Amino acid sequence: MYVTHVDSVREYDVSIKGAYRVRVKYLLHKGVGAERIQFRLFTIDVGGYTSLERHEHEHEVYVLRGRGIVKSGGREAIIEPGSVLFIPGFEEHQFINIGNEPLQFLCTKETSEIPEALKVDEG
């Protein structure tokens, strides 16, 4: 068993090209024993957005706070606290904060890799 508190987990700036004012906390990942899933907490500051991307893994998302737009599969939807999303693998997607406070959401990623940011910290 592994137990921690969200306040004890280091936050990283997302440095992916096309992302602006985005941070992430890797809550669960292979480095702590989660062999198949990364469980992440994203924060998108006011005026920020993730990169428009497409990849093999799917996402399951739960919005905790803020207001945003998700673009996915050629469609757009408003998201707010309590919104639950599923984004299939290979579907192009992007999150945009349209509110006056940070947009914060939990997001899964199916992978057995340790996050790159954590590898850099260890190296």
| Nearest Cα to Cα of residue 70 among 101, 110, 41, 97 | 97
From the list 24, 61, 79, 107, the catalytic residue is 107
Three-state secondary structure call for residue 26: strand
- What's the CA gap between 65 and 87, in Å, rounded? 19
Please answer whether residues 91 and 59 qualify as being in contact, where contact means their C-beta atoms are separated by less than 8 angstroms: no
State yes or no: is 107 an active-site residue.
Answer: yes
How close are the terminal C-alpha atoms of the chain, in Å?
A: 26
Residue 44 has phi, psi (to 5 degrees) of: -115, 115
Known catalytic residues are 107
